Amino acid sequence: MRKCSLMEENADDKFEECVELCKKGVQMCRIKRGRLTSPRKVYVEDKKWLCYHSAALWKFLPMRLKYVNLDDIQEVRKGFSSDNLRSAAKNHRHLLHKSIDFAAENSSLIEDFAKGLQHLVTQKNLQRLHFDEDCWLLDHFQRADVDKTGKLNFDEIMNLLKKMNLQISEEYARAVYTKSDSFGKKDGQLDQEEFLNFFAHLTQRPDLNHAMKMFSSNNEPVLSANDVKTFLTTEQQFEDVDEKKAALIIETFETGKQSTKLLGPVGFRRLLLSRWGNIMKPGHEGVFQDMNHTLSHYYVCTSHNTYLTGLQMKGEATVEGYIGALKKVDVFDGEEGEPCITHKRTFIKTISLRDTLKEIDAYAFKTNPYPVILTIENHVSLCQQKAMARIFKEILGHKIYVRPENGASQPLPSPNDLKNKFLLRGKILKAKQSLDKELKVENNELVENKSEKKEIIKIDPEFSYLIALPSVHLSHNIFQDIEEHPMDGSPSLSEGKVVSHLESGYLLSAYTSKRFVKSFPKGLRQDSSNMDPIPSWICGVQSVAMNIQTTGEYLDLANGLFRINGNCGYVLKPQTLIEGLDPRMPEISSTITMKLLVGVISGQYLPKTSQINDIIDPYVTVAIYGIPADTRKFKTKTIRNNGFNPQFNETFIFPLHFPDFALLRICVKDFDSTSANDFIGEYTIPVRSVRAGYSHVRLNTGHPRKMDECASLFIRIAFE
């Protein structure tokens, strides 16, 4: 134990040294347009900003100091692994991320700088998960304090409130301002403590006071330890909270100077901004499902054309694309004797298969150990297939799961059995097929034109040996396919074929209960838009390919489904689908088994849709996505000119026939009478992972759908 403690101390000391190096800065060259700029200092300021000098467009102009908010940094990566995505970002506004690339001569120095920067980014992400309202307010205070006096006058505070999306009468604000200043030095300005007091008075929450009175033993907005225990166990549905633990909770969130052993409105507000007010059931943020089922019993997070940073027909193929979601690889003959990755019949630039596999190997199991499935769309000549097999074995080695001899007759292994393994999915050499026999490639995932001639290739036995999930063709006779297809056979279905199966009956779910199936967007989606994943999931299709570079409602549903179970990429299908039954069958879908009540109470700190926009007019949609009998959407009234603390106070009731499959999506938009309503934020979660009680639902905002630092909806959930 002592040794472990010492190791932890040494690790902390090392991180602190690296953070100090980030503050001090390191001389680096920026890589821009494929060229190295002159060395310049790159450093971190106030643990909030990555700072570097950027050359102006015209050489005679001075260099500009640029700031990158650490909140906006997705990942810090070392080595020769970062593709430059800048040109794609300019052309395609829906691109999720861009890269800033630096190089330095001293490798150990740059490694320590990268460690320190990644540590700071990680800390910022943790802060975002555990929102501290006071810290957030003081951060805004410091930004508004341009002259660095530590105080703000009334005009500065009014400008700050406007930036924070709060519209309030000047008369009322001045009255609260004067009252707050009277607690201090009465100098016509507010210091940080006075500002927090001013803000608390300005933004009193009647919705929270009402909730407190419901559980207060004396009907006042103050809770004793016994009241807190009752609130957390009966309303919030938490277990193992006794009066002693409730007293400790009060000490944690009630930060007044004098300990009263009572929880007041401010402490209650902090309590509901913590894990005690999270909409997700306790434990569901980690891996809580049984991971010992056969692979076909899980939905699997899947990307489509991961390497594309722009449109389907014209874009840039990048190594970066495979690091976020490692699912589909289109391989063609390369010019230097080794295969490359690109997109058939398009203007997509090529990337090296070797480089891509190195990145996949480095990052695939960084966040969790569960298997990665790579669909190999093989367009490679026989000669380069041998090279392709050699490259896969050379780089991925023992991590490749090799299909056992009896794989055709045995259920697929479980995610637990396949930890830290890659499964290759694609065409194989049939048992009686010679090398001279040509094989037609079917189910091409780019073109659905049946009149187009199918590509003819030969399959190399060395590469065929590496395929764990061999492609098969799904016919119109599913019963026959169930009997004849190998247990590890894996067909691909276009979204059009999925809809056809959905409309024709309930048979596909019987097939998907035993075999792994992938669905992909129709080829006409050359704008990288996404298909609706719900029809595929209803049929039990495990792998629904999403264009992760394109945000929107359908990608939100996929992200919402995989938000639970540790965000590990695997979610157990409902028992009905595991048994091969279709949840739309009358005996399943004709009875209401549950009612979900969603009370939308208020919003907090809803962001503007752009810097130049006026204060927003928000409204909320609450929707259930699931089987047709359960799917419905409601909308609140629009609140004019208030993105700061709009009060909605509306309740919606959802009768559910099959809650095991239902997803709850809450979305906030800005009403616009002259054009399309602008997206503000959303949150999606499976109904079975929703905790009853009061919650502050943290919104995912912007095009990257990143959890906002502070934007939330205050809601109340109940089940009947």
Query: What whole-number distance in Å separates Cα of residue 42 and Cα of residue 23?
Result: 9
Q: Could you list the beta-strand ranges (E) of 33-80.
A: 35-36, 40-45, 49-54, 64-69
Q: Is 432:412 a contact under the CB 8 Å cutoff? A: no
Per-residue 3-state assignment (H helix, E strand, C coil) for 306-319: CCECCCCCCCCECC
Dihedral of CA atoms 53, 58, 59, 62 in degrees, nearest 10, equals -40
Other beta carbons within 10 Å of 430: 12
Contacts of 279 (CB under 8 A, 6+ apart): 683, 685, 690, 691, 695, 697, 715, 717
Q: Tell me 673's DSSP state.
A: S
The DSSP output letter for 34 is T
CA-CA distance, 691 to 719, in Å (whole number)?
A: 9
Pick the closest to residue 545 from 535, 556, 564, 558 (CA basis): 558
Identity at 93, one-letter amino acid code? R
Rounded Cα distance, 26 and 646, in Å = 46
Q: Which of 170, 172, 162, 163 is nearest to 202 (CA)?
A: 172
How many CA atoms lie within 13 Å of 477's alpha carbon, on the beta-carbon side? Answer: 5
Q: Which DSSP string do the residues of 640-662 spell out, in sequence order?
A: TT-SSS-EEEEEEEEEES-GGG-
Strands (E), 462-532: 467-470, 492-494, 518-520
Contact 521, 495 (CB under 8 A): yes
Catalytic residue among 304, 501, 657, 696: 304
| CA-based R_g, the chain, Å | 28
Q: Which amino acid is at 352?
A: S
Q: Which of 104, 84, 97, 87 is nearest to 21 (CA)?
A: 104
Q: Which two tokens stand for residue 182?
A: 């009277």
How is residue 477 written in tokens? 């006779």
Tell me which residue of 665, 607, 675 sits closest to 165, measured CA to CA.
Answer: 607
Q: How far apart are CA 367 and CA 75, in angstroms?
A: 13
H/E run at residue 575: helix 575-578
In 605-692, at which residue ranges do the beta strands (DSSP E only) sit? Answer: 618-625, 632-635, 647-656, 663-670, 678-686
Q: How many secondary structure helices (H) and strands (E) does the chain include?
A: 22, 27
Find the catalytic residue in 293, 297, 343, 696. Answer: 343
Active site residue 304: yes
What DSSP designation does 669 have? Answer: E
User: What gap in Å lies between CA 300 and CA 517, rounded to an integer?
Assistant: 10
How far is Cα of residue 291 from the mean position of the Cα atoms in its chain?
Answer: 21
Do β-strands 594-604 and 518-520 pair in parallel, antiparallel, or remain unpaired? unpaired
DSSP 574: P
- 3-state SS string for 103-121: ECCCHHHHHHHHHHHHHHH
d(CA 540, CA 533): 11
| One-letter identity of residue 24 | K
Give the distance from CA 526 to its chain's centroid: 23
The answer to whether 210 is a known catalytic residue is: no
- Per the CB < 8 A criterion, the answer to whether 689 and 280 are in contact is yes
The residues assigned a catalytic role are 304, 343
